[in-house]
Structure 1
Amino acid sequence: MKTVLITGANKSIGFETARQLAQQGYFVYLGSRTLDKGEEAVKQFKAEGLTNIEAIQIDVTDKASIESAKNTLSQKLSSLDVLINNAGISGGFPQTIEGTSTDTVREVFNTNFFGVIDVTQVFLDLLKKSDAPRIVNVTSGLGSLTLHSDPSWQYYNIKGVAYGPSKTALNAYTTVLAYELRDTNFKVNAVDPGYTKTDFNNHRGPTDVSVAAEYVVRCATFGEDGPTGRFISYENNAQTGEIPW
């Protein structure tokens, strides 16, 4: 049975991603910042008959927590097939250049950027032991500098100094990660699941979490001929999905 760790999976897109991968036969380690919320999510899945899922406490902004999660998983498995870096925060909007403190910017980057780097570094050795390891960094179209420079883009006016830049940095990290792993069996991609109805945006998005999660799952389960080092977005094209950096 293939295994997957999903950070921030106790709700929203991460939660639905966990459900869909469990339904596909993966054993899912549902990462949650607090164990009680993770276990509550697992109870919901077990009520649906999904028993191949387990909560694991992991706070991506706390290196000790990440190491502890890794030690826990190392006692349960010899390799990890998929890592989905899904945990993220917005920092609240609006995020104007004069009204947003650097404390807010640092807080957002700690979760959306530095947290991804720490988690990836810690779990990389377990991933390398898989025959077909996959890393999905959940990003946003708001991280595209090209689209942000295009006045015709539908989200051109949605800008901020914390959230978007944190995803731009995440995208840049993804290209480096994919490059360094280019001669291996890894597939590493930045995936934008689209503007989705979640508590992240007060449920204003037009896309349902089931659709967004399906897209993340598709990228997490790419076959040997799948792409790597790409910026893939549901918003652009549900079939090919690449958008400019």
Structure 2
Amino acid sequence: MPAQRTALVTGANQGMGHQVARELVADGATVYVGSRDHARGAAAARAIGEGAVALQLDVTDAASVAAAAERIGREAGCLDLLVNNAAVATTRTGVRDVAELRASAAPTRVPLEEVRAVWEVNAFGPLAVTQAVLPLLRRSPDARIVNVTSALGSLGLAADPSSPQRPLFDPVYAASKAALDALTLSLMVELEGSGIKVNLVSPGFARTALVGFQGTETVESAAREVVRVARLGPDGPTGTFTTWQGVDVPW
């Protein structure tokens, strides 16, 4: 990764985002650690060390998004890398495990309020942040957007009767990631030839709070493709959709 770059990682106070921010700072980048709760973001930035800057950012709040973009512009002048990582699997409390979460997300009975709330974070949030910081990305000679999705959102896999992903496709988390994939593809199309690269990454099933720490991979392992793509320089590809194993995902 080129030195002296400025990055924003949303949802970076814990889990995948925190790991990505940590590795980018180790590369020499200045990383704005986006966190809905400023105190938690400040603690995360201190844990990462010099080069990490706490930034209050609620991706569902227009005023928060605008204030974050204004601050980055005022302090850094431009933005070289945006990692849209912030996500939720549910807004409900008291969900005991992944199995219960999936059962409660069945399309015939899930409350629409739950669908809307998750989509606000996972789909509309990344688009809102991207729109807000796009003028700062345009000022960079080597700008890249990395959207963190899930292979569960792949319509190609969900439509395949032989795919193990098919039974896991739901209208809440999985469909919100399918929507993010579609929004990312629209960004790829619009920004072709602009100099701003756009990539989509499905990380591994990490042991993070998103899944009640019931994942199968360490955060370090699960985040490796997000980090690899985030480190790509000006000659790196755009328009890719890859998994944590570094292979292409069907849209």
TM norm. shorter chain > 0.5: yes
Cα distance in structure 1, aligned partners of 2:171 and 2:39: 33
Cα distance in structure 2, aligned partners of 1:150 and 1:7: 32
CA deviations on 1:104-138 (whole Å, 9 max, x unpaired) are 01001100111111100000000010011010110
Question: Which of 155, 179, 188 lines up with 2:189 in the alignment?
Answer: 179
Q: Is the 8 A contact 2:25 2:31 kept in 1?
A: yes
Matched with 2:249 is: 243
Distance of aligned partners of 1:204 and 1:151 in 2 relative to their CA distance in 1, 3 Å threshold: farther
Matched with 1:55 is: 54
Cα distance in structure 1, aligned partners of 2:185 and 2:232: 17
Question: Which of 136, 152, 155 lines up with 2:162 in the alignment?
Answer: 152
Q: CA deviation at 1:190?
A: 1.2
Q: Is the 8 A contact 1:136 1:189 kept in 2?
A: yes
CA deviations on 1:66-98 (whole Å, 9 max, x unpaired) are 011111112101110000000001126220122
Question: Which of 206, 229, 233 lines up with 1:219 in the alignment?
Answer: 229
Cα distance in structure 1, aligned partners of 2:221 and 2:107: 34
Consecutive aligned runs of 4 or more in structure 1 exceeding 4 Å deviation: none
Q: What aligned pairs does 1:156-171 form with structure 2 within 5 A after superposition?
A: 156-171=166-181
Cα distance in structure 2, aligned partners of 1:38 and 1:149: 39
Structure 1 residues 20-29 or 146-155, which shifts more?
146-155
Query: Structure 1 length as normaliser, TM-score?
Result: 0.93
Cα distance in structure 2, aligned partners of 1:87 and 1:200: 10
Structure 1: any 5+ residue segments left out of the alignment?
A: none
Identity %, equivalent residues: 40
Cα distance in structure 2, aligned partners of 1:80 and 1:43: 21
Cα distance in structure 2, aligned partners of 1:229 and 1:176: 10
- For these two proteins, the number of residue pairs brought into alignment is 237
Matched with 2:85 is: 86
Q: Is the 8 A contact 1:5 1:28 kept in 2?
A: yes
Cα distance in structure 2, aligned partners of 1:20 and 1:202: 23
SS of match in other structure, 2:222: helix
Matched with 2:22 is: 19
SS of match in other structure, 1:39: helix
Q: CA deviation at 1:202?
A: 1.9
Structure 2: any 5+ residue segments left out of the alignment?
A: 93-100
Cα distance in structure 1, aligned partners of 2:120 and 2:209: 20
Matched with 2:63 is: 64
Structure 1 residues 148-157 or 14-23, which shifts more?
148-157
Q: CA deviation at 1:44?
A: 1.6
Matched with 2:140 is: 130
Cα distance in structure 2, aligned partners of 1:198 and 1:153: 24
Query: Structure 2 length as normaliser, TM-score?
Result: 0.91
Cα distance in structure 2, aligned partners of 1:62 and 1:144: 27
Question: Which of 7, 10, 14 lines up with 1:7 in the alignment?
Answer: 10
Q: CA deviation at 1:102?
A: 0.7
Query: What is the aligned-residue RMSD (CA, Å)?
Result: 1.2
Q: CA deviation at 1:64?
A: 0.3
**Structure 2 letter corresponding to 1:195:** F
CA deviations on 1:172-198 (whole Å, 9 max, x unpaired) are 111110111111222101110121111
SS of match in other structure, 1:205: coil
Q: CA deviation at 1:158?
A: 1.4
Matched with 2:95 is: none
Question: Which of 203, 207, 212 lines up with 2:217 in the alignment?
Answer: 207
SS of match in other structure, 1:75: helix
Q: What aligned pairs does 1:183-202 form with structure 2 within 5 A after superposition?
A: 183-202=193-212
SS of match in other structure, 1:219: helix
Q: CA deviation at 1:151?
A: 2.8
Q: Is the 8 A contact 1:8 1:87 kept in 2?
A: yes
**Structure 2 letter corresponding to 1:57:** Q
Q: CA deviation at 1:211?
A: 1.5
Q: Is the 8 A contact 1:192 1:232 kept in 2?
A: yes
